[in-house]
Each structure stands twice: as structure tokens, then as C-alpha cells.
Structure 1
Amino acid sequence: MTDHLSRQPFINLLKNIIANQSKNKNGYSIAIDGDWGSGKTWILNMLESQLPSDEYLIFHYNAWENDFYEEPLVALLSVMIEKLNEITKQKSLYESVVTELLKEASSDLEILAIGIAKYFIKIDIDRSIKSKRKLLNRIKQGTKIADDIDSMLPLRKTLAEIRDVIKNLSKNFKILLVVDELDRCLPEYAIKVLERLHHVCNGMPVFQIIAIDKSNLADSICKVFGKNFSNPSPQHNIMQFTDSYLQKFIDISVPLSNGKPDKSLEVMNGLEKEFCEWTRDNSAGAPINFNENFLEEFLAEMFSGIDRRLQEKVFSQVELCHKMTLATGVKPELCSYAILIYEIISCIASYVFHSKNLCTVKNDSNGTFTLVFKDVEFSSNPYADKYKQLAENLKDFFCLNKTYYTSLYIKSDVFFIRDEKSYLMKLLADEENIYNDYGQKTYFNFIAEAKVFLAKYDEIMHTMLF
């Protein structure tokens, strides 16, 4: 898997924490706290692949994928059984005594699964036993255990048995329990998962990594416990209560930023193949290159600090709208990277901020044209505030080098183009704003075909979204 967001240093940090704390006989728990879509699942998968399999026994528990189990403990049993059966088959990786240990642990857990299934009628028993057909012959034994559980508080009995299995496994392995997608579960279920994990792992030689979006999980926690924070500082009170509650389950919380994209086109998943490079000279004869390097630079700057899932959604929306525009028969002379960049900016304005445009070109009285940015705080999208970083990135991209252009009349009536950014500003500009400038008008005639195509693109984008 390609590390597009430069996550390896963060993974190394996690490995160092695990190496230092995995020997803790009382267990240890850390939370990876990042926004939804920031790449927590990718990090967990990469981390698991980099830990030595002959040293670590890793159980990956996706809370959201398993939330159809009414009782989270059954889901955890199912995950453990599947993992043990999977690695037992890889006999070449383990000594025979370790293989027997894994088989025994899996067998014990399967019997527990049957027993607790009798108590929680709604679970899918097939999921727990499908990998072990011989287990069908032991239904009678499982039923006997179920009867015992019925009379001895089912959860407490099962928890004790699971803890015994973990103790046995920890003699040969470092136990790592990875919990993902917790913040996508319903509030009550998410809390139940945390409670069950605490019952299973508290005081046990288990290292837990729990991926959360604390701001999202905070609402769930407050709702479950009937906390209604209003004035004077509701957000502060909510997070304070959440932090206090999570201390019961988590030793440390490691914040995860949305990352900085690498300078690569792979993030576009092939979208760039619909477009091509384009080069021309400015009025001074200097080259203006809309090439692969410029496109990579644009993507890295524009999506710095923006979660990967939003990036993928934007590119998917752009691809669909671009193809629909071409299907109307309106086509530019050349589908260059300049047009692709415009389409991305237009999609950000429409899809993220619910605005027809984030920026326009203003003709000042002194003949200078500058880029004017719309304040996204007034966006009709209730989630726009979360992505204000996108608008800031857009400003930085165009204004970092103080890119601007002036209305300077020359004999050729062709407007000066200083660089790639000033050319893009032409595409973003509204021709009506410069109707009184002959030099500008002439230049707009030069890019008229591209402007017609992009106007149709905007029309289709707005129709799809609004």
C-alpha cells in the first residue's frame, strides 16, 4: 500500500509505544484520535503488516462491521475464533506446540460461542462455527455449557473463560487487540463495545489500539448518559465529560492529523488520464507549463490537511461531471491539466461549500485585477466550517507568491500572462466583470472555447448537487 499521506513516522511512533508497553502484564490501551476519513484504518492495516507475525497475535475487531451482533462480546469471540483458525492453518510459521495451543484456544472459544449463542438468540451462529465443521459434533457439549451459563450469569462466566484463554496465549505471544470504526456505530452500541473491552482486557496482558473520532464519539457518550450541555461553553463541557469517561478505557490518546499529501497523481485514481499536459509561452517568452509536476504541486497544496475520503469524493464527482459534460457534445479544444484544475476548484465550491464559486476576479478602479475569495462561513452547507482549511489552501495556492495581473493595453491587444496561476485566474474570472477592458476582452476570446465548456461543466455540477 502506497503511503500517500506520509504516515510512516506516525506508524513508527505506534510501534515504539507498543514495543515499550506490550510487556505490561496489566495491559495498555491507546486511542488514535482522528477525523472520519483521515486514514485511521489504513494506518492500522499498515501497522499490523509491519509487526512480526511470529511475535504478535493480532485480533482486528471492526466494531461497525460486527454491530449486527446484539452482544459485542459475541462479535469479539467470532473475530478471535476466525483469527486463531486462520493462523493455525499456517503450520510452517509455528512450532507444533504453539499450533496445539492455538487449536486449543480456538476450540475453547468456539464452545463458549455456542454457549453464549443460546443465551443471545439473535446472533448468527453460523458465523462462529463455519470454519470448524467438526464442531457440529460437539453441539451436545456446547448445550451443556450453555445450561451452565444460564445458571451462572452468562456474561460473567464467558468473560472469565475468555480471560483464561488470553492468559494461555500470552505465554507464547504478545497479544494486540485492534478496534476500528467504533465511531461509526450507534451511540449505545459504541458504549457497550468499550465496556465489554474493558471487562475482557482490564488487568490482562493485552495491548489495545482503539481508533476513534473523539469529537464524534463525544456526542454519543453524552447522549447515552443523558448529558445535555448548553451554556455557557457547551463544547468545552462535552469534551471535558468525554475525556473523563474515556480515561476508564484509554491510557493515552494520540492525535492524528489529516496529513499532507505526497506529490503524486495516484491519489486521483486515474482521473488525470482523461487530461493532458499543455505548454505555451507568456508575453515575455517564458514557458508556462501545465505539466505533471504542476498538477502534483497543486494537489499537494490544495489537499494539505484534508482527509483522504473527501479527496476521493471530490475526484469521483469531478470525473462523473466531466464525462457528462463531454456527453453533451460541448468540448474544449484541448482537455488540459488547466481545465482539470478548474474542475476540481469548481467541485470544491459546489460539493463542499454549496456555492457557485469560491472566488471571482475583481476589476479595481486603478486597472488591477485581483482574486476575491468568498467567506465560507456563510455557506449553506452545515459542514462547511469543518473544511475551511480547503478555502485557506485555495487562497494560499493563488496568493502565496502574490500572483496578480494588470490590465495593461499593448499593441497586440493580448493580455499579459505571468505564470500558470495567472492563467488559472483567467478561467476563474467572470467575463462580465471586465467587459469595459478591451485587452481583457481580447484575451477572453482566446480562451472562449474552454470557457464555454467550463460553463457547461458548472451547470451540470450545480444541477447534480442542487
Structure 2
Amino acid sequence: MTSRIHEIEVPDENPFLNDVLNRKEVVDFLAKLVGRTTGPFVLAIDSEWGTGKTTLIAMLQAVLRKENFQCVHFNAWKADYVADPLVPMVSAINQIQLPAGEAAKTFSDRLQTIKKGTGVLAKRGLIAGIKVATLGVLDVESDVEAIAAELTGATANDLVERFEQENEILTKFRSDLESAVEQLAAAGKQKNLIFFIDELDRCRPDFAITLLERVKHLFDVPHIVFVLSIDKRQLEASTAAVYGSGINAPEYLRRFIDLELGLPTIGGKPFTDLILKRTGLDEVFAERTSNAELQYDREHFVRYFTQLADLCQLTLRARERCATRLMIVMHQTPPNHYLDPIVVAVLLVLRTIKPSLFRQIVEGVAGTKEIMEYLYTLPAAEKIATDRAGAVIEAELLAADHDSRRDDRAKELADIAQDEKRGAADRQYARNVLELISYPGRSSRSAMRMRSIAGKVDMAALTRGRG
């Protein structure tokens, strides 16, 4: 087993080789969109963190590269330790290698002048950043000018002249950038430079907002298409953190983004299968063949974890974290011992989506009743109620619960099954659970396992449970 789940591999020659989420149609649509758009243009792919945006971006890049587009990838989160995003953004463009020739030479020459302008603009941005960070404590006429002198080697006596000089630098920067991008077509590439910015919503707020400002003021030139990978809600929070809660964050962000496209949340069994494969858990499950019941542990876990994760709308990243916790559980469960895969699946999901209820289970004050009540409050709960899955989940939880809870619930279910005033679906559900909890394989296991299993899911929980 591996202790960390790495990003899904996206081979250049076959971008959709590991596409278990069936996103080829979405990627192909995006490739046509950004390929046919005449920049400047900013497209934002908006979806919650952990929903697979990074993998989709990797697939999109691979498709565009096959179509002879020059792509630049910039992971903003990995660069947000620097003061100004302009520097790593220009560095990303500097990595472009064109075929040897006149176009490549011109491209290189333009980049040299762009880098010179970057140095000056980044220093000026640093001065402004210091002013903002100190909330006006600095004195404009003394402290800021001293900093300007130290950074630029000049004295800012004439602010109007300095503004005009900076405007000239900005104009020169954009002109050289436009000329550099024009060399792509001259070098046999497609006209558009596709500039991908990933993980923007995870950056520190001031870095994220400064980056958007740089895109707007410096990179707004023909044939540059930006593709931003964002969680807009997080980006709106960053905007409020920088400019205060009174700002209209959605309206502010519209200044920078020409088109937003949502990414549908996708889960399902194929993704669960992929997680088990990538973590090496498939091999561990394969060892669980000491008796007829254990050999179905993987099948049961995949089915019920997928249903519960879909029901609770877990992000793909959250599902991966559940798999990491499953690794810990399986480290503690010998291959000839009961794993209780359905109970494990329930507790993994609860630990992620409802930690307060999980803690109550660990402490022994909550059990099957509270779990099922919570699950049936979720919007799509009827999906597990109508295909017998809900009855199976409740029966497995009861088998692992306290004897008194199980007995009380069995009496309640017996009454429901005989109550003609109840709906037919309720009576059938009660009969299903009663039938399942009477199964010899369940009744022969020791009760009160739920807290022990919770301890395997979270070692800290195990310590709390013993207190």
C-alpha cells in the first residue's frame, strides 16, 4: 500500500487513458472553445476544491498540445511564497522552447526586454504592497520614498513623472509580450498561447488578487487565452479578505473573467475502483480469502462507500482522503479477521462529512439510530431506501452496535412491520432489516464493535473512546 495518493497520470499520447470520470466530452468542448477564441480572453473553470479540476486541466493541456497549441502551466499555489506573481508568471513563459529559427530568436529577444520590465514592475508592486500591509502607517513622503530609493536606486521627487515612466514600462511590457506571442505562428504553432493557472483559490488572498490584477493590466494582449482553475466561492472570500467584507466580490471578479463554466461533480463506482487500485488496496483485499464471507469485503466496501459518498456529495479529494483512512483501518485488521466493510464505509464518510456525529459514536452516546436519522435527512436519501441498500446499512450497523440498542430497534421494527397504518414501503423496510439482522453470520459476531471500528478509522478517536 502507498501512504499518499498521487495525481492521476495523464499521458500526452493518450490523455484519456485513465479517465474513469468520462470527461473526454467536456475536455474536447473546452479545447475547441479556447482554440477558436481570439485572445485576450479569460476562461474560469469553477468547481469546488477536490473535484478533479487539476486532472481535467492536465487532460485539456495534453489535447491542446496534440493540436499544436503552445501551453503554459502555472501552479499558483506553489508560487504564492513570492511577493509578486508577475515574476513566476513571466518565468513560466520563459520556459517555452520554439524550434530554432528567426521566430525563436525574436521570441527570445522580446522575452529579455519583458524580464527587464518585470524587475521594475515587481519592485513597484512591492512598494505598494508594503503600504497596504502596514495599513497606512508608512509616511508617503519619507518612508515610501526611502524604500523606493533603496529598491530602484532613484528618488521619487516627481510622482507624476514616475507615474508616466511606469506607464511607459507597462506599455513596453505589453508591446513586447504581444510581439513574442506573434512568434508562435511564425514558428509553426497555433496562434493562441494558452496560459493555464491552477490552484488559484488555494493561494493566500493578496497573492490571488494581485495575480488577477496582473492578468488584467499586463497580459491583456491578442492571442493570449487564460484558463483559470478556481473555486469561485473561495476566490470571493479572498477578495473580501483583501478589500473588506463590504465589497461586492462577485461583481469585482467579473472584471477579470470573460466566461465562467461550472464543472459537474462526478463520482461513482469507477472512481472508487481507481482509488483502491492507486493505493494498492486491491492487493490487500485480495488477501482476504480465508473464508467465504471475507472474500466479498472489497465488493461490499466499493458498493456501499460509493453510494454513501454520492449521497453525501463528497468531492473526489474527500473520497481520496477516505481511502487513506481505509489504509489505516486495513493495517490494523488481519486478513483473517472481519473487516465489517459496510460499517467502515459508513464511519469513513461520517468522519469526513459529519465529524460531530462521529465523535458521539466514539464516545458511545450515539449509534445506529442517530446515523440512520442523519442519512435519511440528506436530499437524495431515497436512493438508498428504495434499492434495499438502506436496510443493509442499518442491519450491519445494528450488528456492530450495543446489545440494548439492537434489541430496542428490533422491537420497534417488529411493531412497524405489523402496523397496518404504516405505508407499505415502511413495513417492507422493517421486514428487510429484521430479516438481515437474523442472518447467522451477523448474529455470531461480537457486538459493540462500532466504537472499536471508529478507533481504527481515527486513532485519536480510539484514545477518546477509552477515556
The question of a shared fold, defined as TM-score above 0.5 by the shorter chain, is answered with: yes
Q: Which amino acid aligns with 1:164?
A: S
The C-alpha deviation readout for 1:439-461, integer Å capped at 9, x for no partner, is 96894774425x56654232354
Summarize the Cα distance change of 1:298–1:279 in structure 2 as closer, same or farther, 3 Å threshold: farther
Q: Which amino acid aligns with 1:399?
A: A
Residue 158 (structure 1) shift: 4.3
Are 1:433 and 2:405 matched, yes or no? yes
Equivalences for residues 1-400 of structure 1 within 5 A:
1=9, 2-21=18-37, 24=38, 26-52=39-65, 55-81=68-94, 83-84=95-96, 87-88=97-98, 94=99, 96-114=101-119, 156-171=167-182, 172=185, 173-228=191-246, 241-264=248-271, 265-268=273-276, 269-276=279-286, 290=296, 293-304=299-310, 305-323=313-331, 325-326=332-333, 333-335=336-338, 339-354=340-355, 355-356=357-358, 357=361, 361=368, 373-375=372-374, 395=381, 398-400=384-386
Residue 4 (structure 1) shift: 3.3
> Which residue is 1:408 aligned to?
none
The C-alpha deviation readout for 1:216-275, integer Å capped at 9, x for no partner, is 1112222333234xxxxxxxxx8xx23321221111110113212352522132234333
Q: Which amino acid aligns with 1:431?
A: D
- Larger relative helix fraction: 2
Q: If the length of structure 2 is used for normalisation, what is the TM-score?
A: 0.67
Q: Which amino acid aligns with 1:20?
A: R
Conserved 8 A contact 1:4-1:261: no
Residue 47 (structure 1) shift: 0.9
Instruction: Indicate the SS of the match to 1:170.
Output: helix
Percent of aligned pairs sharing the same letter: 17
Residue 360 (structure 1) shift: 5.0
Conserved 8 A contact 2:48-2:231: yes
The C-alpha deviation readout for 1:281-339, integer Å capped at 9, x for no partner, is 9xxxxx9983655544334433334212111211212322442x44xxxx584345xx2
Q: If the length of structure 1 is used for normalisation, what is the TM-score?
A: 0.67
Summarize the Cα distance change of 1:46–1:302 in structure 2 as closer, same or farther, 3 Å threshold: same
Query: 2-side partners of 1:63 and 1:149: how far apart?
Result: 33
Q: 2:387 aligns with which of 391, 401, 405?
A: 401
Instruction: Indicate the SS of the match to 1:373.
Output: helix
Query: 1-side partners of 2:126 and 2:217: how far apart?
Result: 22
Q: Mark the runs of 5 or more structure 2 residues left unpaired by the alignment.
A: 1-8, 10-17, 128-151, 186-190, 412-433
Query: 2-side partners of 1:54 and 1:12: how far apart?
Result: 11
How many residues are matched? 373
The C-alpha deviation readout for 1:23-51, integer Å capped at 9, x for no partner, is x2x51111111111112222112211111
Q: Mark the runs of 5 or more structure 1 residues left unpaired by the alignment.
A: 89-93, 123-145, 229-237, 282-286, 363-370, 378-387, 406-419
RMSD of equivalent CA atoms: 4.0
Query: 1-side partners of 2:218 and 2:385: how far apart?
Result: 55
Summarize the Cα distance change of 1:442–1:18 in structure 2 as closer, same or farther, 3 Å threshold: closer
